Every structure is written in C-alpha cells, then in structure tokens.
Structure 1
Amino acid sequence: MADGVRTDIHDSLGGVPGPVELRRRRPPPDLSAFCSGITFYRERFQGVARQLETATLTVPLIVSFGTPFEIGLGRPPGPEDRIRSFVAGPYAGPVHILSRGEAHCLQIDFTPLGARRVFGLPMDELTGRMVLIDDLDDAGVRTLADRLTDTPDWSRRFDIAERFVIERLGLAAPPVPEIAWAFAALDASHGSARIAALSADLGWSRRHFISRFRTEIGMSPKTVARLLRFAHAQRIARSTGTAWADTAAAAGYADQAHLIRDFREFSGLTPQAWLRTQPR
C-alpha cells in the first residue's frame, strides 16, 4: 500500500473470467460520512464478464476509459443498456453488469448525504436512474471526467478525484442536520431504529419526516432501514458462516423468512446462492 492505495490483482472476480486490476484509496477520515472510497478498475482479459451487484445505498460516479459497460437495473442488460461515464442513484434491487474484457474506469463512491452535497440535486431525482455525465447540468463533473481521461497515470488520477471530492464538499451547503442525524441513527443501529421514534424525537410529523428524508437521501426511511439491515446480514454471513436462521436473528430480522425475502428482492438470489458468489 502506498499513498493510501491498496492494489489487488485478481485471477478472476465474481463473474469476471480473467485477470482484473483493482486499486483502492480511502478518503480522509473526516470525509467518510460523504465518500466511502475511490476505486480504479481495469480488466485484462478477452471475453465477456457478467457481474451481479446487490442493492446498496452507494451513489457511484463512474468515469470510463475503456469499452462501455452494459447495465440493467433488476434485469440482465442488452446492447441498448450500454453506458460509459455516469452517476448512478441508489436502487433497491440487483444490478446486472456486463463487460467485454476491456472495461477500464475510475469510480468515486458517495454516500447519499455526500451525493446530495456534491451534485446538488434532490436525491429522489437520482433514485433508480443512471445519468450520463454529459447529461448532468454540472460543468465541474464534466471537467473532472476530461481531466481523468487526459491523465494516464493511475496515481495522479486518484489525486485528481480526491481533490474534486474535497473541493466540492468544501463549497457545498452542509447536510440538513435533522436528516443527517436520522440517517446516522439508522446506520448505527443497522436499520433497527424505529421510524416513528426518529420523527418524534425531531418534533416532525411522520409525513414531513419521510418527505424530507426522500429528498435528502433518495429513499424512504423504511427502505433505507431495510437496506442497512440487509447489508448487516451480508457482513455477518461473510464473516461467520453461521446458519441462516442465526444470521437472521443476529441481523435483527424477525425470522429467516424475512431475511430470504430481502435477499431475493435486493440481490435476486437466495441467501445460499448469493454466498456462493462471494470471494473466499
């Protein structure tokens, strides 16, 4: 690891049949509530790769330097789903990704609060959408994409991307404090905090709380709570290998049936089928 960058070369990776180069840099700790990481991805093989990503609250900004990806939300993609450089809003379902062995990109992962500040858009306008960088009314993002494309050195690309994040957050309005607090409470509790209690603590009506939450985060508090609980279950399953009933209980599910429901909805797979897709 150098300059905070971790480099991995994988012989194969979750549906990718050949070598993949991954380089990752974590942002400064004081930015972690807004940006979770920057990743450089490059395929080094001939052929077709099919990846499945589970639902997540991450809002990625992807600048592509190679062949376009084909991406389908909740379904396998086709040629009409080809997309190069874009921002993807949060989506409560599986994402199917196809590439052809020459994909090469840099990805900045924002939290919903970070994306709201960096792009300045109501987050519910991005939910379930992929928006081309060229279609964003944002000259700064287009300039970032041009600078990254014109810079072949990956280390310099990391510096440019990190500087963009720092500068945009420095210029942006702060997050709405009530929503930032509620989101942090849901995150800290892995989705178990009661929505009614959060709105009551804020002195807001439930309807007003949900409306403001959608604008700032992109989804309802209930959906966000479910996704946080699902992510917690995934972490438990990866790290412990316990029975699914025990995983469900540890993650805060009422029973195993509810865990299975969320896995099917958010990954398109049963829990066991999903586990088989994970690196060992």
Structure 2
Amino acid sequence: MTAMLTRPPVPALRPFVRLLWAGFTPPSPAASAVREHVLPTGCMHLALRWAGPPLHLFHGPHDAVGYFPGDAVVGGARASYYAKEAGAPGWSVGAQFEPGAAGALLRTSAQDLAERHTPLADLCGSSAIALQHRLQEQPGPAACLQVLEAWLLARIAAQVRGLHPGVAAALARLHGGAPVQQAVQASGLSHRHLIAQFRDATGLAPKQHARVLRLQAALAGLQAPGVPAAGIAADAGFSDQAHFTREFHTLTGVTPTAWLRAAPAQRNHVRVG
C-alpha cells in the first residue's frame, strides 16, 4: 500500500486490539499477475475492503485460480505463510488482534479461526453487514477507523473473561525469548492443559507461536543494515545457519536471500512474482 494510516485503539480496546489500520492500494497494470506471501505474525487480523475488488487468495503455489473469501474477513493465526494477489487496487481497513480477542469480540475460539480466512458475517451476522455499509458511507480512512473502533467497542462481551493467567505468563516468557519448556513451567499448567488454553487464546500451540516469534526476530535482523546472517540466526534463537535457512523457507515460502532481494516495504508481505 502506498498510503497507510495506523494508530492504537482507545484504551478500552487495548487488551484485545493491538493496532487499527486503513490504507489505499493504487491500480497497477501488472497486479493481477503478481502474488505475494503474507508471513505469519502470531496474531489474528480483521480486514474489510470498502472499495475495490475482493481479497483474492490461493490454496498453494500450484493453484492457478484461487478463491475469494469476501470483502470482510477474519484471518486466523497461522503457523506458516499464505498466498494472495498482490496490489489489488482499493481501500481497506482493519485491526490486528491481541490473544484473547476471539472470545471477547467474536464470541468464538481463536483455534476455530486458525489457518484460514473466515467471512466476518459468518461470525457476527447482520452486525458485520451493517458495518460494511457504514464504512462505504465514510469520506476517508480516518473516519473508517472511527467507525471500526466504535463497532469493536460495541462487540466487547458484557462478561468478558481476561486472558488466562497461565497463558499470559507463557506468552511473556516466549516473547522474552525463553524456550517453550520454560514457558510451560511459568504457566503453572501441565503441558497438555497449556496447549489447550493457548490455542483457545491465540490459535496456535506454544511451539508454533515460538517458531513465528523466531521468524519475526530474524526478519527484524534482516532489515538491520550490516548484520551478518550468522549473527541474525543466533540472535533469533536458531541453532545454526542451516536451521535458520530451513525454518525461514518453511514459514515464508522463500529463502532469506530471496526475501532480501525482494526488499519488501512491509516485511510480512513479500512479492514472489
């Protein structure tokens, strides 16, 4: 996107929403021939298009047709990348969710939304359709962000449960770079019980979440000028360079060298031709 507006939500939403965003992608003659890999972040996302063609996704590298999940979708947390059409013109608005948001805002488990895109109307019914209509009436992205924010505030469950303390403790350890076993110990739960609670809140198992965090640390390192690849691998928690290259390709669909060559403006959106 060449024009992007981002901001944090109002305080009441911050336990559930990390970021609100709106952006515009201008028309591009070659856009329909170009795909991009959207890399895993460990988070759920909400995206609504209010002008332009719908989101065009592909089941894999050999899928020449793809599919259209709709104009308003929830992208569940993923353990690897997915492929979409790059550069489709139009306006869109959305949110990046925190762990626990699925239950608080969408009345479901993050595990039920993981590894796929779900039409928002399937989760929220007529409320989602009304939201799309409101967005289409707005004069620009800032107004759309206000409409989306108000809709999310109204969605907060009256008896919302906070994040399970064991999951919160495990997440804190994982984001601090600790191995999964230390996160399990910090949670105070059995490994099996933590996996169930963790999937319900985030959509991923702790080990999958840790893999995505290592990838994100590596991407940040690759963006830093002058840092050798061996240092990036070690700093991100990979056992060696071979482990780094193998994991990077599994999670992104490209090699570290190909990612650097693509020089993505947004590090989690890499064009693949």
TM-score interval, normalised by the smaller of the two chains:
0.7 to 0.9
1:245 aligned partner: 230
Shift of 1:138: 4.3
1:10 aligned partner: none
Matched, 1:117 2:104: yes
Q: Specify every segment of 5 or more residues in structure 2 that has no aligned partner in the other structure, as ranges.
A: 266-273
Could you say which structure has the greater relative contact order, defined with CA pairs below 8 angstroms and 6 or more residues apart?
A: 2
Distance across 1 between alignment mates of 2:47 and 2:62: 20
Matched position secondary structure for 1:82: coil
Matched, 1:85 2:69: no
1:39 aligned partner: 21
Distance across 1 between alignment mates of 2:142 and 2:150: 13
1:218 aligned partner: 203
1:181 aligned partner: 169
Matched, 1:164 2:146: no
Tell me the amino acid that sits aligned with residue 82 of structure 2: V
Query: Over the residues paired in the alignment, what is the CA RMSD in angstroms?
Result: 2.4
Tell me the amino acid that sits aligned with residue 163 of structure 2: P
Choose from 103, 109, 119 the match for 1:132. 119
Matched position secondary structure for 1:163: helix
- Normalising by structure 2, we get a TM-score of 0.84
- Normalising by structure 1, we get a TM-score of 0.82
Distance across 2 between alignment mates of 1:165 and 1:137: 11
Q: CA contact under 8 A between 1:195 and 1:221: conserved in structure 2? A: yes
2:55 aligned partner: 69
Question: Which residues of 2 match residues 221-240 of structure 1 at below 5 A?
Answer: 221-240=206-225
Q: Specify every segment of 5 or more residues in structure 1 that has no aligned partner in the other structure, as ranges.
A: 1-12, 14-19
Shift of 1:81: 1.0
Distance 1:100 1:257, change over 3 A: closer
Matched position secondary structure for 2:19: strand
Tell me the amino acid that sits aligned with residue 186 of structure 1: L
2:271 aligned partner: none
Matched, 1:268 2:253: yes
1:146 aligned partner: 133
Matched position secondary structure for 1:115: helix
Tell me the amino acid that sits aligned with residue 53 of structure 2: T
Distance across 2 between alignment mates of 1:24 and 1:42: 12
Distance 1:177 1:149, change over 3 A: farther
Tell me the amino acid that sits aligned with residue 101 of structure 2: G
Matched position secondary structure for 1:91: coil
Q: CA contact under 8 A between 2:104 and 2:157: conserved in structure 1? A: no
Deviations 1:103-136 (A, max 9, x none): 3211211133333422121111111111112222
Shift of 1:145: 2.4
Tell me the amino acid that sits aligned with residue 222 of structure 1: K
Distance across 2 between alignment mates of 1:179 and 1:277: 36
Sequence identity (%) = 27
Shift of 1:77: 5.4
Distance across 2 between alignment mates of 1:86 and 1:122: 16
Distance across 2 between alignment mates of 1:250 and 1:240: 15
Distance 1:81 1:22, change over 3 A: same
1:254 aligned partner: 239
Distance across 2 between alignment mates of 1:89 and 1:155: 25
Distance across 2 between alignment mates of 1:241 and 1:260: 18
Tell me the amino acid that sits aligned with residue 69 of structure 1: L
Distance 1:279 1:200, change over 3 A: closer
Q: CA contact under 8 A between 2:170 and 2:186: conserved in structure 1? A: no
